[in-house]
């Protein structure tokens, strides 16, 4: 039976995820506050331009908040075993994006104090912004402990097929790939971390082998792999 490397987010990844989630929550609170202020002060014929400007600001805040939230889920994903929590955690960006505009949309279209022209312009803009915020906040490639576990083990098997030591790879602080060779041109002279493929994933979210290292391993590892197969056959 093959050994399974179960993904566990590192303390560093959990700390970074917690910080990003805090940023996202603060952003959503600010966006909801601006929405409330806009509903109370800016839904009128005289303040249409200001209302449209407020929508742009709210949309920007909702967009970046959702990005922070989605990145935090990549660093510290939840399990698929609890379906409700899995859905809420991964789609909260979309839910909050919609909520940052839904009350405003309803208020505009139900208002009796603005003209039909203002209602059409502001209502359409708010509905479009709500759609954009919802779509940009949606997670279409949700991370999970189970998914990461499966992919880590696939990476280990791929490394084994290239005769790469899955427990001894390298990655740089700003890099997004792990390397089989310390002298790889992309990391040479840089400050490096060293560990297993599993650790590179847990600490940095790295899930891909450097292509240069892959080609080198395919060339240098092939003879060793052939020798290993022959010894096994004998």
- Structural domain includes residue 5: no
Per-residue pLDDT band at 85 (split at 50, 70, 90): very high
**Are both 201 and 229 inside the same structural domain?**
yes
Among 110, 137, 164, the domain boundary falls at 137
pLDDT in tens, 147-164: 988 888 888 888 888 888
How far, in whole angstroms, is CA 231 from its chain's centroid? 45
Percent of the residues in the chain that have a pLDDT greater than 90, as a whole number: 57
Q: For the chain, how far is it from start to end, CA to CA, in angstroms?
A: 23
Which residues form the domain of 224? 145-233
pLDDT of residue 221: 59
pLDDT in tens, 196-231: 888 888 888 787 888 998 888 888 755 444 344 334
Among 87, 102, 137, the domain boundary falls at 137
pLDDT of residue 58: 98
- What is the rounded average pLDDT for all residues in the chain? 89
**Are both 114 and 173 inside the same structural domain?**
no
């Amino acid at each position: 039976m093959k050994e399974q490397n179960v993904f566990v987010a590192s303390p560093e990844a959990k700390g970074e995820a917690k910080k990003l989630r805090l940023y996202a929550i603060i952003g959503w609170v600010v966006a909801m506050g601006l929405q409330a202020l806009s509903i109370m002060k800016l839904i009128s014929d005289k303040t249409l331009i200001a209302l449209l400007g407020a929508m742009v600001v709210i949309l920007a805040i909702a967009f970046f908040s959702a990005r922070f939230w989605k990145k935090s889920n990549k660093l510290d994903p939840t399990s698929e075993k609890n379906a409700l929590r899995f859905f809420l955690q991964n789609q909260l960006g979309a839910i909050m994006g919609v909520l940052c505009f839904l009350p405003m949309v309803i208020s505009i279209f139900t208002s009796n104090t603005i003209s039909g022209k203002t209602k059409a312009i502001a209502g359409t803009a708010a509905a479009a912004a709500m759609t954009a915020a919802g779509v940009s906040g949606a997670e279409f490639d949700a991370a999970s402990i189970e998914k990461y576990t499966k992919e880590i083990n696939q990476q280990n098997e791929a490394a084994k097929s290239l005769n790469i030591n899955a427990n001894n790879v390298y990655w740089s602080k700003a890099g997004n790939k792990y390397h089989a060779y310390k002298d790889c041109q992309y990391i040479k002279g840089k400050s490096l971390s060293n560990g297993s493929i599993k650790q590179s994933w847990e600490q940095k979210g790295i899930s891909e082998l450097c292509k240069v290292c892959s080609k080198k391993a395919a060339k240098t590892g092939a003879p060793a792999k052939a020798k290993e197969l022959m010894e096994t056959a004998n």
